Structures are given as structure tokens and as C-alpha cells.
């Protein structure tokens, strides 16, 4: 069920009225809640991963970002910050802060510099998208990178991380197998993508045994599953920020979307009535 914050506030007000709260108190509460919503800072995301996996292409596909991409050269050498428009996804005005991060794995010397950038930026963002290249089975570099980052900044960044497997169109038996008519993977590609997602999860769990975040396959080039990628981004956001993008959040119960602080407020006001 998609949730709209305005409707949510109306639902809560209705609920409070049914519980006997005075109309003027309900209005005051509604205003307080609206103010809190209006003051929530825009969500911030960073996309990281090895060079050439399609990080910049992904941001271009999602937000029309105009980031430089290349078939043969790493062109993102420091963190590029810009804002993206969320209206196409939520149907209402709003922005998201984005960092296009330099890719790891170009050279030892460059990695040293890039880890400094990662250590500076990652603690500040709400969501970290770790982009992969579908079918690339070499996972030691990813495992080492996670351990290096944990050494540098501690493990908490892993809680806001999702793995995004790009270039779904290139997975075996290859791009020519892609179903152009429906813009989806062929049956064989779909099986391989599912297998690859499980493989990535197993390798991540070897270094992060309790990690159970999202892993999603998509293609920036084909614009396949970009909406799922956005939905998964929202799923790892902190609850108060989810409110901003809540039309995307697919949840059965709106209380999951309410900041515990707001829930406390509702409970406190209910107690006042009695």
C-alpha cells in the first residue's frame, strides 16, 4: 500500500478524533506533524563500487544527472555532489542529495586517495548503493574493501547499504539474449541473475555474517528495474527520511513509517485525553 504523508496526517487526525481529542488540539497536533515533515532534510545517497560498473550511468538513468561516463577510463576521480529530482518517482516536488563516488580498483595509489574520500563521505549519507557488474564473480576485492572501510569508519555504514547489480542485460548468455520486445531478461538470463544475487549475498555474508539488506539486479542502459532500485533505496532509509519519499515505500502498516518520536507524541496525547 502506497502512503501519502498528507493522507497519513488526515488518518492520524481522524484516529485522534475517534479517541475523543478536542478539535483544536487535533489541529495543533496536525500542524506540529506537518512542520516536522517540512523540516526533514532531503535524503542523501552515495553510489560506490569498482571502476566501470556503471555508477555514473546509473545516476544519469535515475536522475538525468549528466555525469561523465566512459567505456575505457575511470572519469569520476573525486566525490561529485549534486541534487536529483524525486518528482518522477513520488509525484510531488522534492530533491535528493547525491554523491557520485570515484570507483575503486583502478590502481593501488588511486585506491588510497579514494578510501579517504569514502571515509569522509559515507558516514554522512543515508543510503549507500554498492554497484556491481552482473556476472563478475571475483568477490575478494569487494570483501577486502568492506573490511578496509570497517577498519577506517566502523561497521555502521553497512546498515544503510544495498547492493545493486548493474548491467543485467549483459549476464550470460549475453546482451543478444535480452528480450527487446518487453525490455526484460530472457528466461535463462533471469535464472542467472537470481543465481548471481544469491552468490553475492553469500560472499557479503562471509565478511558481514548478520547483513541481510537488499540486493537488486537492474540495467542503467536499458532502464530496467530502476523503479525497484529506488524502492530498495527507500527501504534502507531511516524512518523519518522515508516520510519524504513515502509514496514509494511499499508497507502494509503506516506505523512503520512513523518516527518513534512521533508515535510517542500520539501516545502522549492519547494519555492526555483519558
Ligand X SMILES: Nc1nc2c(ncn2[C@@H]2O[C@H](COP(=O)(O)OP(=O)(O)O)[C@@H](O)[C@H]2O)c(=O)[nH]1
Please give the residue ranges that form the binding site for Mg ion (CB under 5 A): 55-56, 76
Which CB atom, from 79 or from 207, has the smaller least distance to Mg ion?
79
Q: Which of 44, 90, 166, 246 binds ligand X (CB under 6 A)?
A: 166
Nearer to ligand X by Cβ, of 21 and 62: the residue is 62
Q: Does residue 189 bind ligand X (CB under 6 A)?
A: no
What's the grid cell of residue 213? 539488506
- Residue 173 contacts residue 189 (beta carbons within 8 Å): yes
Q: Report 13-72 residues binding ligand X (CB under 6 A).
A: 51-57, 69-71
148 near ligand X, rule: CB under 6 A: no
Cα 65 to Cα 48: distance, rounded to the nearest angstrom: 16
Q: Residues 185, 135: contact at Cβ < 8 Å? A: no
The contacts of residue 178 (CB under 8 Å, 6+ apart) are 169, 184, 185, 186, 189, 222
**By CB neighbour count within 10 A (0-12 exposed, 13-18 middle, 19+ buried), where does 254 fall?**
middle
Q: How far is the CB of 162 from ligand X (least distance, A)?
A: 16
Q: Does 221 bind ligand X (CB under 6 A)?
A: yes
Choose the one of Mg ion, ligand X, none that binds residue 220, judging by a C-beta under 5 to 8 angstroms depending on kind.
Answer: ligand X
Interface residues with ligand X (CB under 6 A) are 51-57, 69-71, 74, 76, 103, 166-167, 169-170, 175, 219-222
Amino acid at each position: 500500500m502506497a502512503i501519502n504523508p498528507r493522507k497519513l496526517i488526515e488518518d492520524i487526525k481522524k484516529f485522534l478524533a475517534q479517541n475523543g481529542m478536542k478539535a483544536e488540539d487535533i489541529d495543533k497536533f496536525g500542524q506540529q506533524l506537518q512542520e516536522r515533515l517540512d523540516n526533514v532534510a532531503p535524503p542523501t545517497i552515495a553510489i560506490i563500487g569498482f571502476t566501470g560498473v556503471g555508477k555514473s550511468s546509473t545516476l544519469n538513468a535515475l536522475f538525468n544527472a549528466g555525469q561523465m561516463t566512459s567505456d575505457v577510463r575511470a572519469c569520476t576521480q573525486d566525490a561529485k555532489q549534486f541534487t536529483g529530482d524525486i518528482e518522477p518517482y513520488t509525484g510531488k516536488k522534492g530533491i535528493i542529495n547525491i554523491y557520485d563516488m570515484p570507483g575503486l580498483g583502478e590502481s593501488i595509489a588511486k585506491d588510497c586517495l579514494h578510501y579517504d574520500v569514502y571515509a569522509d563521505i559515507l558516514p554522512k549519507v543515508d543510503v549507500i548503493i554498492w554497484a556491481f557488474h552482473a556476472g563478475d564473480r571475483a568477490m575478494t576485492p569487494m570483501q577486502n574493501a568492506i573490511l578496509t572501510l570497517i577498519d577506517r569508519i566502523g561497521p555502521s555504514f553497512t546498515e544503510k547499504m544495498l547492493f545493486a547489480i548493474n548491467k543485467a542485460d549483459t549476464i550470460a548468455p549475453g546482451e543478444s539474449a535480452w528480450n527487446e520486445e518487453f525490455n526484460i531478461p530472457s528466461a535463462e538470463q533471469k535464472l542467472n541473475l537470481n543465481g548471481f544475487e544469491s552468490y553475492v549475498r553469500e560472499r557479503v555474508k562471509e565478511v558481514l555474517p548478520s547483513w541481510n539488506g537488499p540486493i537488486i539486479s537492474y540495467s542503467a542502459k536499458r532502464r530496467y528495474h530502476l523503479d525497484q532500485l529506488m524502492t530498495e533505496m527507500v527501504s534502507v532509509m531511516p524512518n523519518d527520511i522515508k516520510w519524504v519519499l513515502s509514496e514509494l515505500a511499499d508497507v502494509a502498516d503506516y506505523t512503520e513509517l512513523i518516527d518513534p518520536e512521533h508515535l510517542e507524541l500520539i501516545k502522549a496525547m492519547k494519555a492526555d485525553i483519558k
